[in-house]
Structure 1
Amino acid sequence: MRSGHDKLIENFKTIFEVTASKEFLNMEGLNGEVPFWIAPYDIQLQDQADTEINHLTKKLNNNGVTVLVLDLFEISVRLLEDNIGLDKMFMVEKKKTKDKFKKALQSTLNLHERFIPFISNTVKKEEPQILILTGVGSVYPFIRSHNVLNNLQSAITAIPTLMFFPGEYNGKALNLFGDLKDDNYYRAFNIFEYKINITKR
């Protein structure tokens, strides 16, 4: 019986085969859908997943595929620092309830005016062939993965976007950590199901 780590390694081999393929890079077989993919993984293997994402990026770059990896948590920290300062945000956290602090975070990060434009502008500047998003679990609940994807739909369309998701995705519902229902999201492809489509052609 395979261990969770062995399965993770096998899954990342599949992800590499898919993302390095011409079909994926050319965004074939989408039937008019947005070029978004989700790679679910076990949150208990987060450290190993982070290591494998780094290996994946290096392998793709070595194969001539340029990749931009953006961590949603790192983006959040940068935007907070630039717009209010982390020290001030820590003071706000001490004074407010959890719910009010969450709203203060969301207001400062401003998904429409700051967060999504930051991602979009970085992609335009770097001109990668693939955008990889990480850090989904670290920004929950003040940044929700389905909100990021919904707002990126009109901003990132010229290249494929792959979000690493610590939980489960069945093509309809996003279940963060395999337990918390993030929300329904229908427009992304499960990266492992896309491998099956390539194999059958």
Structure 2
Amino acid sequence: MISEQEKIIENFKLIFEVTSSSKFLKMEGLSGEIPFWIAPYDIQFQDFAAEQFEHLVNKLRHQGIEVLILDLFELSIELINNHIGLDKMFQIEKKKDKIKFKKALQSTLNLHERFIPLIVEKVKDAQPKILMLKGVGAVYPFIRSHNVLNNLQSAITEIPTLMFFPGEYNGRALNLFGDLKDDNYYRAFNIFEYKL
């Protein structure tokens, strides 16, 4: 019987085959749908999946395929630092209850006016062939993956976007950590169902 780690290795081999194909890079065969993909993985193997992710990116770059990797958590820290500073945010966290702190954090990150425009700016500066998003679990619950995807779908359409998702995605619903229903999201394709 195949182990979970062997399954992850096979999955990342498949992701490489798909993302390095000209059909994927040219966004062919989408029937008018947006070029958004989700790669679900088991959160219990986060560290091992992270290693495989690094191998994947190195292999793609070795093939001359420029990848822009954006970590949603690192983007959040960048925005907090730029707007109020981490120290100030830590002070707010001490003073407010969890619900009010979450609202203050979401207000600082401002998905529509700051977070998505920062992603768009980074894509414009880097001019990659593929955008890869990670760090989904680290930003939950103050940033939800379906909100990021919904807001990006009109902003980034010229390159394929692949979100690495710690949980399950059946093409209809995102299930974070295999336990928390993040929300329904219908527009992205599951990368493991891609037909080469």
TM norm. shorter chain > 0.5: yes
User: Is residue 59 of structure 2 the alignment partner of residue 59 of structure 1?
Assistant: yes
Aligned AA (1:28): E
Between stretches 15-24 and 46-55, larger displacement belongs to 46-55
Aligned to 1:176: 176
Aligned to 1:118: 118
Q: CA deviation at 1:83?
A: 0.3
* Counterparts of 1:190 and 1:124, CA distance in 2: 25
Aligned AA (2:69): V
Aligned to 1:28: 28
Q: CA deviation at 1:49?
A: 1.1
- How many residues of Structure 1 are paired with residues of Structure 2 in the alignment? 196
Q: CA deviation at 1:2?
A: 1.1
Aligned AA (2:5): H
Aligned to 1:5: 5
Kindly report structure 1 stretches of 4+ aligned residues shifted beyond 3 Å. Answer: none
* Counterparts of 2:90 and 2:124, CA distance in 1: 32
Q: Which runs of 5+ in 2 are unaligned?
A: none
Query: Match of 1:29, SS?
Result: coil
RMSD: 0.5
Aligned ranges 1:55-134 → 2 under 5 Å: 55-134=55-134
Query: Match of 1:171, SS?
Result: coil
Query: Match of 2:57, SS?
Result: helix
Question: Which whole-Å deviations, capped at 9, do the CAs of 1:27-54 have from their partners, x for residues lacking one?
Answer: 0111111100000000001111111111
* Counterparts of 1:110 and 1:79, CA distance in 2: 9
Question: Which whole-Å deviations, capped at 9, do the CAs of 1:91-130 have from their partners, x for residues lacking one?
Answer: 1001111011000000000000100000000000000000
* TM-score, scaled to structure 2: 0.99
* Identity of matched residues, %: 73
* Counterparts of 1:4 and 1:101, CA distance in 2: 37
Query: Match of 2:29, SS?
Result: coil
Query: Match of 1:143, SS?
Result: coil
Query: Match of 2:40, SS?
Result: strand
Q: CA deviation at 1:182?
A: 0.2
* Counterparts of 2:29 and 2:179, CA distance in 1: 31
Q: Which runs of 5+ in 1 are unaligned?
A: none
Question: Which whole-Å deviations, capped at 9, do the CAs of 1:161-188 have from their partners, x for residues lacking one?
Answer: 0000000000000000001000000000
Aligned AA (1:148): V
* Counterparts of 2:188 and 2:94, CA distance in 1: 38
* Counterparts of 1:65 and 1:15, CA distance in 2: 13
Aligned AA (1:37): W
Q: CA deviation at 1:137?
A: 0.2
* Counterparts of 2:60 and 2:154, CA distance in 1: 26
User: Is residue 138 of structure 2 the alignment partner of residue 138 of structure 1?
Assistant: yes
Aligned AA (2:157): T
Aligned to 1:37: 37
Aligned AA (2:56): L
